[in-house]
Amino acid sequence: MNNNQVGRRNILKYSAVGIAMAATARAQAEEQATARGSNGKRYKKETRKTEVLVVGGGTAGTPTYFSRLLDFEKRVIFVASHVTEEKRIIRMTNKYNLIAGLVCFCLSAGSFAAERPNLLILLTDDQKLDSLGCYKQEQPLPTPNIDKLAADGIRFNNGFVTTPICAISRACILTGRYSCKSGMTKFKSLMPQPVFEKSYNMLLQNAGYYTGQIGKYGVRSTKEQLARFDFYDASMDQGPMFRNYKGKKLHDSAWLTQRTSDFLDTVPAGKPFCLQVNYKAPHASSCPAPEDDHRLDDYIFEKNPLDNEEAAALVPEIVRNSFLGVCYYKDLYGGSGFNPIGGNYKELYGDGDPSLFSRQYYEKIASVERSVGQIRAMLEKRGLADNTVIIFLSDHGNHFGEKQLYAKWSPYEQSLRVPFIVYDPRPQAQKGQVRDEMVLNIDVAPTLLSLAGVKVPEVMDGKSLLPLITSASPVESKDWRTEFFFEHYHSGCKGVYIARNEGVRTVDAKYLRWIDPPQPIEEVFDLSKDPDELKNLVNNPEHQERVKKLRSTFDEWRQANPANYEHIPSKTFNAPEIDWAQFKKKNAKDYKKIAAAVNQLGVTWEQATDDWETRKKIWNATKIYY
């Protein structure tokens, strides 16, 4: 019996599929009811006066209650509507008589959920798909807790993000929208108020949920917006590796486990909750927990098979010379500092050993793995496990040396793919499934709303995963997506250029476009035959029909969903037009450096603006990317 259910003896529940008949009844009684809230704590006994309670059913995962009474032969008619916070159990009264007529209804697949579920989102940072045992059996460190979550629920083999960068992907998760639709395109994009109001947090709160965000929230918001959360202990930036908690120094993952417990302590009795737990790990700004550090000192990490010059030569030069190339040597191979675009990274950083970085990456995941197990045990101990849906995913994937690239930001599979697990403990949900449908970060918000019985706004681009959660068989392609679009318009990170890109991925192909060069660079891959994306088919005469179709598909979508990215000279890359007088006024120091480079190179300001090669020379000389 779930904690939030009260007055069970007063409920006439119809759970068989088919026709149910309600008996005529008249009763009036007083009953002492002791209930538990979402936080697992008892609250004060109270007297409940109840005549007759009749509960109906709706689609699986979307419980409905007969909550409105209309006069029928001076008696009662029942009308189904979604439950609200304070109407978890509806009392049906008539001052003199109460006659329940014949009620006929047919329930959908699965048993009827008598209450709305609690919702828990566990979000990691920079976690690549194959870093968990449930996705790749052999791991440097085992991940039994996360593997069990996948075994208990549904593991999606084709989880993706639509924009592979921290802040923007997190905004996509919150809003259920593509970046171009939400206006969140950069690290410091401030979430517009109308977009915030339609985020899953606010919509659930309006529907009676107790909402919380802890850890690396990562999305720029106003103080007024953050104050709207019922429980907020989070950072809009990376956040610290360790935190002080009541005199103790806790690693981020341990601190998040503790704050999850604190959150549950504050949930009001009778309220369902929705909490998003945002881990730093295994992002480069995090570190292994003390108990995990050096666990893999003796582990031998093999070099990625695609970490070679031949594979790297297939990547456009503008990408190799971007932050993806810098991080390959700086982070993966243990160098330090930044090298100007066009420089020789190998000479600067050398052929370092990636073992240190790889070791720490997996040791960081160990702290998340431990936290997931502790949080699930916590839910079990509090009596909440049977009615708490858990979604586990990462904000994006990660290159690990493939094509001599490291980190995210690219439209290649290593960057777009993420682990994606959904566990719904209730009877109507599938258990122990592995599914191959394409699911996205923008699907999280509509899924949460559907689970809670809240209408999904039309502005959301994602799809509710309920049909996949409740279906025992694959969903036909006509009923699910066969393509999705991706876009990455943020172009600067710590003063180094990030190659901007966009495109479309189908179930078996990908069209991508690097948009910054004067003539954008296109790549097309047949993923069914070339999953490593090594054979660009864009100029292959045998594939031109497919290339044209993919290009057209993306162009039609982009025309209907125009990019809304605003270039800011010296802060972002490849601004199409620059007012140098205004630039000098706002960025005097940067302007002075650029002017010196213009004079030294003997070029004109027009060339400094319009000529690609001249721009690159100025970037190299000044480290200012405009």
527: exposed, middle or buried (C-beta count within 10 Å: 0-12, 13-18, 19+)? middle
Q: What is the mean pLDDT of residues 490-496?
A: 64
CA distance 407 to 78: 56
Residues 6+ apart with CB under 8 A from 33: 6, 7, 45, 46, 48
Q: What is the mean pLDDT of residues 446-471?
A: 97
Say what the pLDDT of residue 10 is.
Answer: 32
Indicate whether 33 belongs to any domain. no
Indicate whether 626 belongs to any domain. no
Q: Is the pLDDT of residue 418 over 80?
A: yes
Greatest Cα-to-Cα distance within the chain, rounded to the nearest angstrom = 97
CA distance 566 to 544: 33
Say what the pLDDT of residue 516 is.
Answer: 84
Pairing of strands 433-440, 496-497: unpaired
Residue where one domain finishes, among candidates 474, 499, 514: 474
CA distance 394 to 392: 7
pLDDT-based confidence at 570, cuts 50/70/90? low
Residue where one domain finishes, among candidates 404, 439, 474: 474
CA distance 369 to 381: 19
Domain that residue 448 falls in? 116-305+339-474
Indicate whether 436 belongs to any domain. yes
Indicate whether 26 belongs to any domain. no
Q: What is the mean pLDDT of residues 480-505?
A: 85
The CA–CA distances, whole Å, from 9 to 2, 20, 35, 64 equal: 14, 18, 13, 19
pLDDT-based confidence at 238, cuts 50/70/90? confident
Say what the pLDDT of residue 138 is.
Answer: 92
Q: Is the pLDDT of residue 340 over 60?
A: no
Residue where one domain finishes, among candidates 452, 474, 496: 474
Indicate whether 277 belongs to any domain. yes
CA distance 397 to 383: 34
Residues 6+ apart with CB under 8 A from 221: 190, 191, 196, 236
| E runs forming strands in 395-547 | 399-400, 406-407, 417-423, 433-440, 483-488, 492-493, 496-497, 501-506, 509-514, 521-526
C-beta neighbour count of 509 within 10 angstroms:
22
Indicate whether 3 belongs to any domain. no
Q: Is the pLDDT of residue 334 over 70?
A: no
Say what the pLDDT of residue 476 is.
Answer: 80
Reading the block at residue 585, the tokens are 């006024």
Select the highest-mean-pLDDT range: 64-78, 166-180, 475-489. 166-180
265 and 396, same domain (yes or no):
yes
Say what the pLDDT of residue 353 is.
Answer: 66
CATH number, domain of 363, equals 3.40.720.10
Residue 563 Rama label (left phi>0; alpha psi -120 to 50; beta): beta
455 and 582, same domain (yes or no):
no
Q: What is the mean pLDDT of residues 443-461?
A: 98
The pLDDT tens digits of the residues spanning 598-624 come to: 999 999 999 998 887 888 788 778 877
Q: Is 112 helix (H, G, I), strand (E, B) or coil?
A: coil
Mean pLDDT of the chain: 79
Lowest mean pLDDT among 39-48, 258-267, 302-311, 489-498: 39-48
Lowest mean pLDDT among 63-77, 87-101, 123-137, 284-298: 63-77
The pLDDT tens digits of the residues spanning 551-564 come to: 999 999 999 999 87
Indicate whether 332 belongs to any domain. no
Say what the pLDDT of residue 566 is.
Answer: 66
Reading the block at residue 342, the tokens are 């066009």
Give the count of domains, the chain: 2
**pTM for the full model?**
0.77
Comparing 35 with 496, which gets the higher pLDDT? 496
Indicate whether 539 belongs to any domain. no
The pLDDT tens digits of the residues spanning 264-293 come to: 999 999 999 999 999 999 988 899 999 999
Q: What is the mean pLDDT of residues 133-156?
A: 97
Q: Is the pLDDT of residue 530 over 90?
A: yes
